[in-house]
Amino acid sequence: MSGILVVTGGSRGIGAATAILGAKRGFSVAVNYNNSPDRADQVVAEIQAAGGTAHAIQADVSTEAGATSLFEQVDSKLGTVTALLNNAGIIQKNALIADYTAAMINEQMTINVTSQFLCAREAVKRMSTDNGGSGGAIVNMSSAAARLGGGGSLLAYAASKGAIDTFTKGLAAETAKQGIRVNAVRPGLIETEIHDGTGDMDRINNLMAGVPMGRAGTALEVAEAVIWLLSHEARYVTDTNVDVTGGR
């Protein structure tokens, strides 16, 4: 496996695991971050120590300027992107519908949805065979919450991930004849720091009983699904959601 992999939100959790695994499989990796330079540098250092190539690149990809800057920096530091994990996103504190404000909803949608549109746009410009590119693959980070709904705690988060499922389907159809495959991964209950953002510090244990396999998944297990979708082995796979949920 070779090429240039861009991982947004790559400084921690699933993003970091995917960056590290992607480098092990032969990708040169752009580790994007917004507010965690030390964490991004640690990911890059681990990749480089194992003989891989990686650069940490700061950019707020939920903004026009940030998304554009990220891919321009990738162009100059690594080369033309061939694979993208659209992973940047946030989760908010548990809330009922009566608690939501427009600001809360807009923040969730801007960071979780707008960022994926903007980064996909920049990747497609470079990958599309219609534009002289050599094709590529995009994986969008969705969530099992898109199916489960998030009612009673994470309604806006779930709605943002539902939007990603629709975005994935539409973008896959739009770009299939341009040499680009577009898929999504929908993690379930995964052992990462994102759960802390809900304010429920015991969230994983509280939800464990609802997982048929009886345990939470790991960031690496999600990363393995992502890397497969980005690989040549998945060359006939597009417009597909891969659930990594332990059966939940």
Active site residues: 157
Cα 161–chain centre separation: 11
Cα 188–chain centre separation: 14
Query: At residue 186, what is the residue type?
Result: R
- Of the candidates 143, 183, 147, 190, the residue with the CA atom closest to the CA atom of residue 17: 190
Helices (H), the chain: 13-24, 37-49, 64-77, 102-109, 115-127, 145-148, 155-175, 203-207, 219-230
In what side-by-side order are the strands of the sheet with 27-33? Answer: 54-58, 27-33, 3-7, 83-86, 136-141, 180-187, 241-244
The CB density around residue 59, as the number of other CB atoms within 10 Å, is: 24
Q: Please give the backbone phi and psi of residue 31, each rounded to the nearest 5 degrees, phi first.
A: -100, 100
Helix (H, G, I), strand (E, B) or coil at 212: coil
Cα 210–chain centre separation: 24
Place of tokens 């100059």: 76
- 79-103 burial: b if 16+ Cβ within 10 Å, else e: eebbbbbbbbbbbbebbeeeeeeee
